Each structure stands twice: as C-alpha cells, then as structure tokens.
C-alpha cells in the first residue's frame, strides 16, 4: 500500500443499507449525514475514548472522530477504572458514550440526528484511526495503533472471504470495541458489505430476536462460549447463511452440533488484537487455516509473524504455527506460559508474580487446566500459601489487578507448594492439587 | 416474604453449582453485587447463569434494557426477577 494512498470513509453506495436500528434501516447516505452532524459538535482535539454500547452509535462516533482526524481509543472493558486508566495513559481529550459513566474528561453523547446530505470524507491510509488494547501481564493496557488503511484492507478481505453481500444482515455478540467485534460488526458494514444490527445482543434469546429482526441472508458473529449457551438453551433461530466464531478455539464437536442445529457452515477467524483478523477456516473441514488475501506469514522455529496490508511492520504472533501446503497453516499448542480467556491474553508467570506480590502471600502459582483450549468455560486455578488469608481474601486482592476472566477458580490454600529439591514445581503435581477430581 | 427468602437460597445454590464457586451458597450476601466487587462474576458467568435459569425456571434472560443491570445487581434482585418471570 502506498503511503499517500487514501480511502473514503465508506465504500458503500449511498442507497445501500449499512445498519439497522431496530426496524429502521440506515442508508450510507443517511449515515454520512449523521456523521457530519456529530463531527461538527466534537471538540478540537482527540484522541477520543469511544465506549458506546449501541453498535450504530459506536460506528457514527468512530467515523465522526476519524473525519475530524481524531484517533479512537477502543476499550471493550467499560469499567470506570479501566476507562479512566486508558484515558489517562493515552491522553484522551474527550469520550463518546451512550451510558452514564463518571470520567475525569468531557463525555459527549452521540445522537443520530437526521441532517443535510454530507460528503464521503477521504482519509489517508496511514492515519491512525483506532488504537486497540491488549491487557498485558501487568494489567497495564498496551496500545496497538490501527492505521486506516489496515482497517479498510481487513474489512475488504473479510467481505471477500465470507462472501458478504450488500444485503447480508450481520448480528454480532462481541463488543464493538473488541478488535474482533470492531472488525466484523463496524468495519465490515462500513467498508465490506452487509448491514449491522445495532442493539445489544448477548444472551441466547437476544441472538434469536436480533436475527429474526434482520432480513435474510443472516450472518451471526459470535464466540464458542455463546454458541454453547445458544445450543444449550434450545432457542430456535431463523435460517442463517453462516456463523463466524473467534476469540477462542472452537471444538470440532461444538461446531458439528451447531452446523446440524442451524443448517449453516460454522467458520472461524484466526487473529489477534495486534494484527487483526488474518486467516479463517471452516472448523469441520479440518485444522488448516487459509490466510486472508494480502497477508503473508513467516513461520520459523523461533516463532511466527504475519505481514498485514496497511501495518508498518510484521506482527509477531503468540501462537506456534506449522506451515502446510499452499500457504495454509496449522495452529500448534499455545506457548506454555500464555493463556487466553474471554478473548484476552495473559501470561501465567505474570499472573503468578501478581499473586505472590500480595501482602500475606508467602508462595503461590497460577495454573491452567489441561482442557483450557477445548472448554470454553475453563478457568485458571491458583495454589496459594498464605497463612492467615482466606481464599476469598486472595481473590479480593487479585481483583482490580487482573482481568476478571483470569481470577482463579478454584483457589487452593496449602501449607507449602510441592517444590522439588531445586525448588521447581512439577505441573502434574500442581494439577492434581488444583483439580483432584480429574 | 418466606417464598422470596427460600427462592433466594435456591438461586444461591444454583449459582454456586453452575459456576463451581468456592463460596458456600449461604455465604453469598443477598444484597452484594454479583459482578465486579462483591461476588466478582464476569460475562462468562452471566451466560452460565442465564442457561441455568432457563433450564430450572423456564424463561430466558435478556439484555434488551436497563433492567439487566438491576436484575444482576444482587442475589436478591435476581431472585425477585425469577419469582416474577418463572414458568417452571
């Protein structure tokens, strides 16, 4: 991509529907008018913290900020403390939100107000449009800049890969501020195709109602955890064109059950906040991943990286990859120290050092259950030596320092950890203490 | 009121069983928040609770409105919501 390349804010034709707010379709022309109206109300300087829950408002807010040259800070975590941390660390000048959160900066409510026709702004490909965050082991959010060109290329590659037609209805269950949700439910309608569903969708009955409210063909963008809940609830769905899953590996058994129940292919996206979506597969067709058009993978014994259109440098990947024929690859085991839960990564050694840093904790270790990569409900465990502390007190001390998804369950209190003569811990011994029933 | 109190105890057991919590059901403070501070549940747990509630009480939880925050505000609020909506 040339550095002076540009892309329009939306690639959609003016009359195409890019979102549905309840029963109301929003055309690209109307969207642009609403973006211009909001852009005119924004403060002079960014960046902006955008944590709108309504997907359409999140998109209007992102687009209005971009058209003013303001980068959007994306936080899927809406806890006031996390938002304040990100705002402080990354210099947010204002926030755009549709809920009331007290923050030490001006919070504006985006309104989708009809206004006069507006042009389609042209934006340089190398402008940083969004900044996504990973949590990092220390709990400190780490920023990943997303140039506009990379976001556009990713959306267009996804539209081609999943054959998203202009009239495809897209129902997402992942927050719009999570990289996967941002790409599939905001950037895809903006630059690829399809019409997004604006409302909150989380529980099985929400998914069924949202899908029923969209005209066919319908695309459900979700996670293994929510697929499992949806199948378990027995709630019936209208016909689907496809289901897309990401954030955690999807077990073949769950994919087979879903395809049988919903009569649609179940597809998975492989990606990372740092790189965005970079490959996909149909789970039931095997374990080979097909890279997105335009990406290039480098796989060596020391690790893998991916070159993504629009990103300035190759992105190292946290997983081990094995090269297969025709550019495809297989995911090896995760690196032993890295765990991923609820779409967030952490290192076990990092969590362990937070644990042992708690006052009153003499020794301790975090460990992952053997079925972590197969069981969407899996949780980490902690073995703790802390005379005088209860398990509840340990969890209370961890809360606020680690993401809720990584809080240990169970917490097993011990007199000492089973260390060998040189002080090392054996995984087998630890697992037997944490999960005695297995 | 007796009904509510016994339902509260039943829902506390349901939560502890569904989520494999360390806490004993009777140790859950009925007024404390279930998420964040308090019991410290997260969105994975919300789905599990929704699934367990739909199986036991025959209705679906939804996130269509502000009420969702109130429903999960505490064990007491959740039990009251179940009392009002249960079909089983």
Residue A323 has pLDDT above 50, yes or no: yes
Tell me whether residue A416 is exposed, middle or buried, using C-beta atoms within 10 angstroms of its C-beta: 0 to 12, 13 to 18, 19 or more.
Answer: exposed
User: What CATH number is associated with residue B32?
Assistant: 1.10.1200.10
Which of A 222-261 lie inside 8 A of B, CB atoms?
A: 225-226, 229, 232-233, 235
Q: Between chains, do A225 and B44 touch, taking CB under 8 Å as contact? A: yes
In order of A37, A149, A193, A223, the CA distances from A6 in angstroms are: 23, 8, 19, 33
Give residue B46's pLDDT: 86
Residue partners of A186: CB distance under 8 A and separation at least 6? A55, A58, A59, A62, A176, A196
pLDDT higher at A420 or A105: A105
Give residue B68's pLDDT: 67
Which residues on adjacent β-strands are paired with residue A244? A221, A267
Which pair of tokens denotes residue A183?
Answer: 């790409």
Q: Quote the number of domains for chain B.
A: 1
- pLDDT bin (cut points 50, 70, 90) of residue B1 is very low
Are the CB atoms for A344 and A405 separated by under 8 Å?
yes
| Mean pLDDT of the A289-298 span | 96
Residue partners of B75: CB distance under 8 A and separation at least 6? B8, B11, B12, B15, B28, B29, B30, B31, B32, B34
Give residue A217's pLDDT: 97
Closest CB to A206 among B22, B40, B63: B63
| Residues B64-80 pLDDT 10s | 655 667 788 899 999 99
| Mean pLDDT of the A389-403 span | 86
Give residue A405's pLDDT: 84
Q: Check CB contact of A402 with chain B, cutoff 8 Å.
A: no
Pairing mode, strands A122-124 and A6-8:
antiparallel
Q: Between chains, do B54 and A399 touch, taking CB under 8 Å as contact? A: no
**Alpha-carbon distance A145 to B18, whole Å?**
39
| Mean pLDDT of the A331-349 span | 78
pLDDT cut 70: percent of chain B above it:
82
Which pair of tokens denotes residue A205?
Answer: 């009955």
**Alpha-carbon distance A309 to A149, whole Å?**
8
Give residue A373's pLDDT: 77
**Alpha-carbon distance A196 to A204, whole Å?**
18
Give residue A142's pLDDT: 85
How large is the ipTM?
0.81
The domains found in chain A, sorted by start residue, are 6-334 (3.40.50.12780), 339-434 (3.30.300.30)
Residue A136 has pLDDT above 70, yes or no: no
Are the CB atoms for A300 and A287 separated by under 8 Å?
no
Residue A53: φ, ψ to 5°: -85, -40
Q: Between chains, do B40 and A206 touch, taking CB under 8 Å as contact? A: no
What is the extent of the structural domain holding B30?
Answer: 2-85
């Amino acid at each position: 991509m040339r550095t002076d390349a540009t892309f329009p804010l939306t690639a959609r034709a003016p009359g195409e529907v890019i979102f549905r707010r309840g029963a109301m379709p929003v055309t690209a022309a109307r969207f642009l008018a609403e973006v211009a109206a909001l852009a005119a109300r924004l403060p002079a300087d960014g960046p902006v913290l955008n944590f709108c829950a309504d997907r359409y408002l999140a998109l209007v807010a992102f687009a209005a900020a971009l058209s003013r040259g303001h980068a959007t800070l994306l936080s899927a975590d809406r806890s006031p403390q996390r938002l304040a941390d990100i705002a402080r660390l990354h210099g947010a000048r204002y926030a755009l939100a549709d809920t009331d959160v007290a923050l030490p900066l001006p919070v504006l409510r985006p309104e989708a107000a009809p206004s006069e026709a507006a042009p389609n702004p042209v934006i340089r490909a190398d402008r940083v449009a969004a900044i996504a965050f990973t949590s990092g082991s220390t709990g400190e959010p780490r920023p990943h800049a997303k140039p506009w060109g990379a976001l556009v290329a990713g959306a267009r590659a996804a539209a081609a890969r999943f054959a998203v037609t202009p009239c495809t209805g897209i129902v997402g269950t992942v927050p719009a501020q999570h990289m996967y949700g941002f790409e599939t439910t905001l950037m895809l309608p903006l630059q690829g195709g399809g019409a997004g569903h604006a409302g909150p969708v989380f529980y099985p009955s929400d998914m069924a109602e949202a899908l029923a409210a969209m005209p066919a063909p319908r695309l459900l963008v979700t996670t293994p955890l929510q697929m499992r809940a949806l199948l378990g609830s027995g709630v019936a769905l209208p016909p689907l064109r496809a289901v897309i899953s990401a954030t955690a590996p999807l077990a073949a058994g769950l994919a087979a059950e879903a395809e049988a129940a919903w009569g649609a292919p179940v597809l998975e996206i492989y990606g990372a906040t740092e790189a965005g979506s970079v490959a996909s597969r149909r789970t039931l067709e095997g374990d080979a991943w097909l890279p997105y058009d335009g990406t290039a993978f480098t796989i060596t014994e020391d690790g893998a990286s991916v070159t993504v259109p629009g990103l300035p440098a190759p992105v190292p990947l946290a997983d081990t990859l094995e090269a297969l024929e025709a550019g495809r690859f297989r995911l090896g085991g995760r690196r032993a120290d890295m765990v991923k839960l609820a779409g967030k990564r952490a290192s076990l050694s990092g969590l362990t050092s937070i644990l042992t840093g708690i006052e009153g904790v003499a020794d301790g270790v975090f460990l992952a259950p053997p079925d972590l990569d197969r069981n969407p409900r899996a949780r980490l465990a902690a073995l703790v030596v802390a005379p005088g502390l209860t398990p509840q007190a340990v969890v209370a001390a961890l809360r606020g320092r680690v993401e809720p998804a990584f809080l240990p369950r169970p917490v097993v209190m011990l007199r000492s950890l089973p260390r060998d003569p040189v002080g090392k811990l054996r995984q087998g011994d630890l697992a037997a203490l944490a999960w005695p029933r297995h | 009121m007796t009904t509510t109190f016994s339902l509260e105890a039943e829902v506390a057991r349901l939560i502890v069983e569904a989520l494999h919590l360390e806490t004993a059901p009777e140790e859950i403070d009925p007024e404390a928040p279930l998420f964040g501070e308090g019991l410290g549940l997260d969105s994975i747990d919300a789905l599990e609770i929704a699934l367990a509630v739909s199986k036991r009480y025959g209705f679906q939880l939804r996130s269509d409105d502000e009420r969702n925050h109130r429903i999960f505000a505490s064990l007491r609020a959740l039990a009251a919501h179940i009392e009002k909506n249960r079909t089983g």
